[in-house]
Each structure stands twice: as structure tokens, then as C-alpha cells.
Amino acid sequence: MTPKIMIILGSGSDIAIAEKSMDILDKLEIPYSLKIASAHRTPNLVREIVTQGTDAGIEVFIGIAGLAAHLPGTIAAFTPRPVIGVPVDVKAAGIDALQSVVQMPYPSPIATVGIDRGDNAAILAAQFIGLHNEEVHNKVVELRKEYARKVINSNEEIVQQIDRPFINNDFLRVKNLEISKVEPDESDVNCKNQDAEVVIIVGRQTDVVTAKKVAAILDRLKITHDMKVVCPIRSNKKFINYVKCMKNAKVFIGVSSNSSQVTGGIVGITARPVIGVPCTNENGDDYMLTTVSMPPGVPVATVGINNGKNAAVLAGEILAINNPEIVQLLDKLKDKKINL
């Protein structure tokens, strides 16, 4: 059975993080390969594993590394396939590895997940593959439902077991609540292209500059897209309507500053891949950590701060898994950048 995903560890000491990925892939029944190769100590081995793996049919690479964490970037140098990076907590609480993995130069994005989140890397890889394989997509949807049930069941397993004099455990008891399904109102969508493959959602007007960079690269890759400025906090109904009504969207890109509620809002609604572009606000604060540090089950493929161009390239790599025309356009785009 030819694997669809290759997991590469920078060191054997990272195996516990890789096991999180393997547990998810085993559950989803997606074939994968596992290798150990160092970007610094065995660079030729990394090159051969990645190039030969790509030629053999690997669709997504997962690079797991700590410290300088150059492995995911090195993988990206040798393949047109999307690369997911998992920074590992070895020193400095893993922040050093996270910064190294996520802050990649254009046009070489790494779909970065949270520190030690090998599980979210596997889910993200499955989402990428699920765009081109309905069976895998359906398995991801079911897995997300399991995560949701775990949260709901914890009310009975944890909350109902608490015995304190002033707690009323039976008030709005969760197991008895009827949770209504929110139906989208297409008349309230107001979009230019409801059939877009990629949807760009901007949280604040001040972040539109970064979002326009996303759109410009998508145009060069001939990928249809739509863009809307809407905040899930200030305009929750409109936000939900818009996401739900973009039924043909394959990839969502959230562009936001100020706690990055946009990407968090999107992943709560759709099982499609979500790319996060953290931005700086008017005070110079950045929101990379609030974008990338997602809980298990709901990954955001985070790119560098204000790097809308890399978000577009990543979307192209995801869609190019079964689209040779986009691969060619990506090659031209990358070659032109190098020649500059």
C-alpha cells in the first residue's frame, strides 16, 4: 500500500510527538511512512527521502523538530507538496522551534500547528487529502464529532460529580439540552463569488492590506476566491451565514489580529482546511500564538505574521495535490521569485 503521508522526525527523541500523529492516522486508516532524518546532520538523506517520496506519490509531508527546527523548511525545499510543521518543546517551551517553523520566507510556506501537536498535524494532513478523497473527508468529519462528544460528555463525567453546597448541577443540564442546528440564510451572504475554491475572511478592516496580498497570489495561480470582512464576535450571525453558504469552498483563509477569533470561528463551523494569517495591530502586537495554539481536533495551518502571500501559496499547494496545472503555476511563481 503506497503511503499518502510521510512523517519525518529530526531526531529519534521526537518519537512521542510522532506517535500522536500515527494514532490519528491509524484511526483514520490513512497509510503513512515514518522516517528519521536531520536537516543539519543528514541533509542529503532528507533530500533523497523527500524527492523520492514525492515521486512515489506522497501527498503531504509532516516535519517534526525542536530547537532550531529547520527540518520542515528543508523538506519544503525539495517538494511541491504541502508541508506541515510540528515544533517540539525541547528548550524555551518550544517557542524557539515554533518561530523557526512558522516564519518562513515567501514563497515557501509551512502549515504550522501548535507546539507538540502531532495529533493536529495528522488531522490537518487528512483534511488536505480529504479535499480529493471523499472517504477520508467523511472520516475527518466523524473524528471531529468524537471530539465534540468528548466535551459534551465531560459535563456528566466531571461537572455532575461535583458536590458543593451552592452548585446546582441540574440547572440547564447539558445532556437534556436540545442543541438546535443553525441553518444558513443565503439572502444575508452578499458575496461576489459563491462558487469560489478559496475563501478569505478578514476580521478587521485594518487587516485588508494583508488579505489583498492573498488575493493577488491566488489570481496568479488562477484559483477562484472570494473575500469578506466580517468579525465572528461583532457580527456572529453574518459570519456563520457566510461560512456555511460558501459550500464549494475547499480552503478557508482567516486573516486577523486581536486574538485571532476569525480562524477559531471558522474551524468551529467547517471540516475543510483552515489557513491562519496572524497580523499585527495598531499597537504592533502580533497574534501568531493565538492563531497556532489550537486545541486537539481543530487545527489551523498557520503561516508567518502578515504573510498573506505564503497563505496563498499554501492554498495552492493543497489544491495542487491532484491538479498538475496548479503545480506548474507554482513552479513558475517560485522560479520567478528566485530569479529576482
Distance, in Å, from the CA atom of 101 to the CA atom of 113, rounded to the nearest integer, reads 9
- Cα gap 160→103, rounded to integer Å: 44
Q: State the pairing for strand pair 198-202/83-88.
A: unpaired
* pLDDT given at position 337: 62
Average pLDDT over residues 314-340: 87
Q: Give the pLDDT score at 322.
A: 92
Does 340 have pLDDT greater than 70? no
The 10s digit of each residue's pLDDT in 178-236 is 988 878 777 777 788 999 999 999 999 999 999 999 999 999 999 999 999 999 999 99
Instruction: Return the pLDDT at 18.
Output: 98
For cell 489557513, the residue is: 275
Structure confidence by residue, pLDDT tens digits, 136-179: 999 999 999 999 999 999 999 999 999 999 999 999 999 999 98
Q: Which residues contact 154 (CB under 8 A, 6 or more apart)?
A: none
Distances (CA, A) of 62 to 9, 11, 111: 8, 14, 9
pLDDT of residue 275: 98
pLDDT of residue 338: 53
Q: What pLDDT sits at residue 181?
A: 82
